[in-house]
A and B are shown apart, each in its own frame.
Chain A
Amino acid sequence: MTTALIADDESPMRDLLRARLLAVWPALEIVAEAANGSDAVALAQQHTPDIVFLDIRMPGMNGIDAARHLYSRCHIVFVTAYDQYALDAFEQGAMDYLLKPVSAERLARTCERLRARLARPPQDIGAQLAQLAQQMQQAIPAKPAYLRWIQAQVGGNLRMVSTREVLFFQSDEKYTRVQTATAELLIRKTLKELSDELDPDEFWRIHRSTLVRVDAIVEVARDMRGRHMLRLKGHKEELEVSRNHTHLFQQM
């Protein structure tokens, strides 16, 4: 008997697919249902189904990554409501996929194809899946490595300050001062640690003790004593640019 597994994080969607499969292919036995990618992989290893129906967006592990664990052992059918990249890739790679809500006719055709394929070993779709997984990663975080949130203890709470809110960081003996347009906070992270973790295109070091957000800079002007002073958007205080760092502003 042919066996199948259904993975979708939304239970109404699993119910629909099960009901449709029962109508179209009564002999197919659904051996397990999973609500996330990692469960799908574990249950598939346990029950060794012939076919796995995989939703693409699931918590924990997404459907593409789950498929990369499973494609050599079972036939994969992707199920999705909307995923532009994925749909193009499925078309090009002649992979099986269904669009939600799954219609009876479309499912009947897919099942027809599956019956014909079952005699043969599953398609080798490893390369396409690897490419798709990479595409999906690129679509979500652009630059993953840099620090984007500063954590600061305020009273009993842990405040999360987006780096986009920060005007500058200034070292202050034991602490580092974080200045935003509306607040001044103190954190324990040193300026050295910050400059290692922050995006160097987002924050520039302008002084031994100052890191400033490039977007917040309005202008640099020389004061009466010949020092380069930097003015910031929406903040009164001027910051000194030390001699070693004036080259940053030569083009401006």
Chain B
Amino acid sequence: MPPGQVNRALDNLRDALGELTIVWWRFVDWLAVVEWRQLVIIWLLTVLFMGFLHTPEPAVWFVFISFGVKVLAGGKRKADIEARQAGVKANVANLEKQLMQAQMAALQAQVEPHFLFNTLALIGQLIETDPPEAARVHAHLIDYLRATLPQLRTRGGGTLGKQCEMVKAYLAIMQARMKERLQVKCIVPTFLESAPFPPMMLQSLVENAIKHGLEPKIAGGMITVRAQVIDATLVVDVCDNGIGINPHAPDGVGLANIRERLQLLYGEAAELVIEAQAGGGCCASIRLPYAMMEEP
């Protein structure tokens, strides 16, 4: 046989095999989705028809092979569906994570322009009248910005001690501006300073207390930050004796954000509780699970 003919024959054979594979896999796919009831009817009809032609053997083979394939392919298809579902679940988790990061970025970028401009105005004034005080307020402002602006945020700020430092910087600036109208009390035991605490939550509560509680009050007042452990729960309170919550004022983005982040980080184990104070003013309290340190 000349080599040209051999090649042509091989090509034809390859084509035929290719067609056959395609048909075979279509058949498998069809088997995977076809209902058992329908399949049984097809088997019966084939066996009857072939039996009528007195050649039942191919029909029997067909039944055997399709039964085997159906059992195996059914499993494959189920696995496919499961894989798709797992993919969706992974997507949801991923989305949640992205959402959280976006929220944190949004929250951390919230340095109020009004606060910034007023503080800079104060520093500008103090440079002339009281340079050492100007230097102090300036240093506090830098501490505050370092902790607040996401671009400048240093890593590892997630302890209660770090969060308190930042709040103290903010409160020192507000004291320089509000003078005798703002008193500050901070009661955080040293052993709690290393306790993990999510960033920007305490800050948000303190800013709320100033902005909605004390600044609108002509006489001003006192803000108290207190951390304690009660029954394996870390309780951090921010209390003020300001004008209190107006029941018709919408709760701000800050509080909603804290609630959402606590939910994402701790599930049901953490909560934000707001209470009205007996003598006016309000108390906001973040409650987190607290793991007691094992003695070494």
Determine if A13 and B121 form an interchain contact, defined as CB atoms under 8 angstroms apart. Answer: yes
Whole-angstrom CA separation of A161 from B268 in the bound complex: 16
Determine if B245 and A10 form an interchain contact, defined as CB atoms under 8 angstroms apart. Answer: no
Does A135 sit at the interface, judged by CB under 8 A?
A: no
Determine if A149 and B251 form an interchain contact, defined as CB atoms under 8 angstroms apart. Answer: yes
Determine if A165 and B275 form an interchain contact, defined as CB atoms under 8 angstroms apart. Answer: no
Output the nearest chain B residue to A141 by Cβ-Cβ distance: B249
Output the nearest chain B residue to A80 by Cβ-Cβ distance: B117
Determine if B218 and A35 form an interchain contact, defined as CB atoms under 8 angstroms apart. Answer: yes
Does B282 sit at the interface, judged by CB under 8 A?
A: yes
Whole-angstrom CA separation of A147 from B181 in the bound complex: 30
How many chain A residues sit at the interface, stated as a range, is 35 or more
Interface centre among B129, B177, B250, B271 (most CB of A within 10 A): B250
Determine if A165 and B282 form an interchain contact, defined as CB atoms under 8 angstroms apart. Answer: no
Partner of B268, one of A10, A38, A142, A181: A181
Determine if A100 and B121 form an interchain contact, defined as CB atoms under 8 angstroms apart. Answer: yes
Partner of A100, one of B118, B178, B215, B263: B118
Whole-angstrom CA separation of A10 from B250 in the bound complex: 27
Task: Known A162-B255, A164-B256, A181-B263; judge A12-B176 contact (CB<8 A).
Answer: yes
Interface centre among B118, B120, B128 (most CB of A within 10 A): B118
Does B276 sit at the interface, judged by CB under 8 A?
A: yes
Does A238 sit at the interface, judged by CB under 8 A?
A: no
Determine if B121 and A148 form an interchain contact, defined as CB atoms under 8 angstroms apart. Answer: no
Chain A nearest CB, measured from B31 CB (Å): 34
Determine if A12 and B126 form an interchain contact, defined as CB atoms under 8 angstroms apart. Answer: yes
Determine if B245 and A160 form an interchain contact, defined as CB atoms under 8 angstroms apart. Answer: yes
Determine if A11 and B271 form an interchain contact, defined as CB atoms under 8 angstroms apart. Answer: no
Does A231 sit at the interface, judged by CB under 8 A?
A: no
Give residues in B with beta carbon < 8 Å to A: 113-114, 116-118, 120-122, 124-126, 128-129, 176-179, 181, 215-218, 245-251, 255-256, 259, 263, 268, 271, 273-276, 278, 282
B273 proximity list for chain A (CB < 8 A): 159
Does A200 sit at the interface, judged by CB under 8 A?
A: no
Task: Known A158-B275, A162-B274, A181-B263; judge A59-B216 contact (CB<8 A).
Answer: yes
Determine if A81 and B218 form an interchain contact, defined as CB atoms under 8 angstroms apart. Answer: no
Residue interface bits A111-123, CB-to-B below 8 A is 1, else 0: 0000000000000
Whole-angstrom CA separation of A10 from B174 in the bound complex: 10
Known A9-B181, A148-B251; 9 more pairs at CB < 8 Å: A12-B129, A12-B179, A19-B128, A36-B218, A81-B114, A144-B249, A148-B249, A158-B275, A160-B275
Chain B nearest CB, measured from A202 CB (Å): 10
A141-156, CB < 8 A from B:
141-151
Chain A nearest CB, measured from B111 CB (Å): 12
Chain A nearest CB, measured from B292 CB (Å): 23
* A-B interface, 3 closest residue pairs, ranked by CB to CB distance from nearest: A101-B124, A100-B121, A81-B117
Determine if A59 and B275 form an interchain contact, defined as CB atoms under 8 angstroms apart. Answer: no
Does A16 sit at the interface, judged by CB under 8 A?
A: yes
Interface centre among A13, A81, A161 (most CB of B within 10 A): A81
Output the nearest chain A residue to B284 by Cβ-Cβ distance: A160
A35 proximity list for chain B (CB < 8 A): 218
Partner of B217, one of A13, A59, A159: A59
A182 proximity list for chain B (CB < 8 A): 268, 271
